Amino acid sequence: MNSVIRGTGYPLVHVPDMVLLNGTTQTTERIVNPESEYLKKLGDHIRTYEQACAYYPNQVYIGNYTPEILEEVEFPWYDKPSPVSDRFGKYGEIMPQEEFYLLMQASDEFELLFLEKAFVEKYKPELAKNGIITEAILDRIHEGVELEQIKKQVNEHKAEPLRSNGELVGYVKNAHAIDENLSAHVMLENLVSKASSVLSLLYALKDAGMNPDDVEYVIDCSEEACGDMNQRGGGNFAKAAAETAGLNNATGSDVRGFCAAPSHALTMAASLIKAGTFNCVAVTAGGSTAKLGMNGKEHVNKDLPILEDVLGGFATILTANDNINPEINLDIQGIHTVGTGSSPQNVIGSLVVDPLERAGLKVTDINKYSPEMQNPDVTKPAGAGDVPQSNMKMIGALAVKRGDMDRKDLNDFVSKHGVVGFAPTQGHIPSGVPYLGHARQEILDGKMEKVMIVGKGSLFLGRLTNLFDGISFIVQANEGVEEEATVSRDEIRGLIAESLRDFASSLLESR
């Protein structure tokens, strides 16, 4: 029995101060070139919360628009404010940085994160207004500390500062005196990932209309590692986030694979359900502070705002087949193997064309492809091109080569079967999965039948292999569960009685 996608969560968090303090482009620049023009100009290019909300791609991500709106709005989008600029959307919200600091504290089990007293008094009531935040989460927020304590920790003890509009409002301290894996820097990154995963899980449950107690297993597929010096990537973000989100009946584990991790995790979740091991599995991932402002230098050079100013989160709830929701079909699965090779042609061939060929399908039989949903507003000015479009061109080229369509139809194929990129460049977040929520709705509405989700990962960044990676699967309209033929107890009694009668008759006849 195939699993189904019951609901999805897609929150964003606008974190302007974290762009300056925690993005690796900025932290690296402060080390190698502290007096650089970039660092001097950067502050003038930070967007306000209102500007981040009035940004079309962000509104698509949280579900207030479908991706098609980006085909209608003239590119680039950063200078065209969206008329819809709501905080809350169908699949999530754009949470302000200040309320997120409180959620980070609620996710902190070891008293590592401290916030200033007046700050807590000001923003805790704001967070309490948010219907998705539970009483249990609010109860975990501390009263707050004096500013002097914060200054002392940041200035004298290497604590990581938390700022709001440049003002010091809190800190994250190290969890061990000498272990780098538990340093303030790592703990901040991990608390950010955990807290945004918690938020994602809550929105996915809401969308699925399910109770936290229904979830039996959680898989985290983010890109951070938690552990100490004896087990650097020991884990487990999944169970840690499940605890804060109140999933009391769940256990879980972490899956890693760079940007391909969400597709690996979804494959495993769908398999766990198909095998009957669990009935309800959540896949979740929080955001990365490291990638904030990653392409900032090019954006500032071109006098654009810093567009990588949001953390992204993602979660989805899979259950056993309910005969309604779209199914994950693991029979048509693309796999990039060790022997596949790393050329774009080989990668797309293994992930898209080969599985369709095995299933007797044409490339054009898939309504939409979701390979990598990076927002081109971010990547094009930085010289990385339009990543979703490049993927679609390669898929289209292989379709032409295979004879599935004519060369002259290539451009139409890209626009008809592709999805315009709308996801923040948060590594694992844009890889295939941002479209799951929209795809689920389109399939439920009967507008499409089959969508292919393609995850691709840059394994070579870990310097253990030069290999690329990827895995793909199909999401399809629910075909319904075939009723297995069953026989009731009464029917069995009837059959036995009938057999005994026949036997008795045969004995009488034989006399």
Partner 1 sequence: MSILEGKKAIVIGDRDGVPGPAISLCVESAGAEVVYSSTECFV
Q: Which tokens go with 463? A: 């310097």
Query: How far, in Å, CA of 347 to CA of 159, rounded?
Result: 43
Q: Which is nearer to partner 1, 277 or 342 (CB)?
A: 342
Looking at residue 302, the DSSP 8-state letter turns out to be T
User: What is the C-alpha to C-alpha distance for residues 244 and 95, in angstroms, rounded to an integer?
Assistant: 18
* 304 CB neighbour count, 10 Å cutoff: 19
Q: How far is the CB of 423 from partner 1 (least distance, A)?
A: 10
Nearer CB in complex with partner 1: 194/456: 456
> Based on CB atoms, which residue is closest to partner 1, 466 or 488?
466
Sheet holding 167-172, edge to edge: 113-115, 167-172, 160-164
**Does 461 participate in binding partner 1 (rule CB under 8 A)?**
yes
Task: State which of residues 208, 332, 387, 433 lies at the interface with partner 1 (CB under 8 A).
Answer: 387
Name the residue nearer to partner 1 (CB basis): 27 or 321. 27
Question: Considering beta carbons, is residue 284 or 391 the nearer one to partner 1?
Answer: 391
Nearer to partner 1, 364 or 458 (CB): 458
What would the two tokens of residue 503 be? Answer: 């036997």
Q: To 10 degrees, the CA torsion angle through 266, 267, 271, 273? A: 20
Contact flag: residue 379 with partner 1 (CB under 8 A): yes
Question: Which residues in 241-270 contact partner 1 (CB under 8 A)?
Answer: 258-259
Q: Does 372 bind partner 1 (CB under 8 A)?
A: yes
In angstroms, give the least distance from the CB of 23 to partner 1: 14
Q: Are the C-beta atoms of 311 and 288 separated by less than 8 Å?
A: yes
- Beta carbons of 268 and 275 less than 8 angstroms apart: no
Stretch touching partner 1 by CB under 8 A, among 86-94, 125-133, 375-383, 500-508: 375-383
Count of residues interacting with partner 1 (CB under 8 A): 24
Query: Which residue in 323, 343, 499, 505 binds partner 1 (CB under 8 A)?
Result: 343
Q: Do the beta carbons of residue 76 and residue 377 sit within 8 Å?
A: yes
Please identify, using beta-carbon distances, which residue of 425 and 476 lies nearer to partner 1.
Answer: 425
Length of the chain (residues): 511
Question: Per-residue DSSP letters for 242-253?
Answer: HHHHT-TT-EEE
Using rule CB under 8 A, residue 200 touches partner 1: no
**342 contacts partner 1 (rule: CB under 8 A):** yes
Identity of the residue, 448 or 467, whose beta carbon is nearer to partner 1 in the bound complex = 467
According to CB under 8 A, which one of 390, 392, 434, 435 is a site residue for partner 1? Answer: 390
- Which residue is listed with tokens 């034989």? 510
Q: Which is nearer to partner 1, 6 or 393 (CB)?
A: 393
Tell me whether residue 25 or residue 476 sits nearer to partner 1 (CB atom). 25
- Least Å from the CB of residue 384 to partner 1: 5
Q: How far is the CB of 374 from partner 1 (least distance, A)?
A: 5
Task: Compute the least distance from the CB of residue 392 to partner 1, in Å.
Answer: 13
Cα separations (Å) of 376 from 384, 391, 500?
A: 9, 13, 76
For residue 350, the tally of other CB atoms under 10 A from its CB is: 21
Judged by beta carbon, residue 236 or residue 374, the one nearer partner 1 is: 374
Contact set for partner 1, span 265-324 (CB under 8 A): 294-295
3-class SS of residue 115: strand
DSSP-derived secondary structure letter, 109: S
Q: How far apart are CA 401 and CA 410, in angstroms?
A: 11
| Residue 466 sits in the site that holds partner 1 (CB under 8 A) | yes
Query: Which stretch, 70-78, 384-392, 442-450, 492-500, contacts partner 1 (CB under 8 A)?
Result: 384-392
Cβ proximity of 84 and 64 under 8 Å: yes
Choose among 144, 154, 107: nearest CA to 123: 144
The set of residues, in sequence order, having a beta carbon less than 8 Å from that of 20 and lying 6+ positions away, is 26, 42, 43, 46, 163, 293
Options 46-54, 231-239, 357-365, 459-467: segment touching partner 1 (CB under 8 A): 459-467
Nearest approach, Cβ of residue 362 and partner 1 (Å): 26
Beta strands in 255-326 (DSSP E): 280-285, 310-312, 314-320
**Options 71-79, 183-191, 357-365, 380-388: segment touching partner 1 (CB under 8 A):** 380-388
Cα 257-14-375 angle, rounded to 5 deg: 55
Residues near partner 1 (CB under 8 A) are 258-259, 294-295, 342-344, 372, 374, 379, 382-385, 387, 390, 425, 427, 430, 458, 460-461, 466, 468
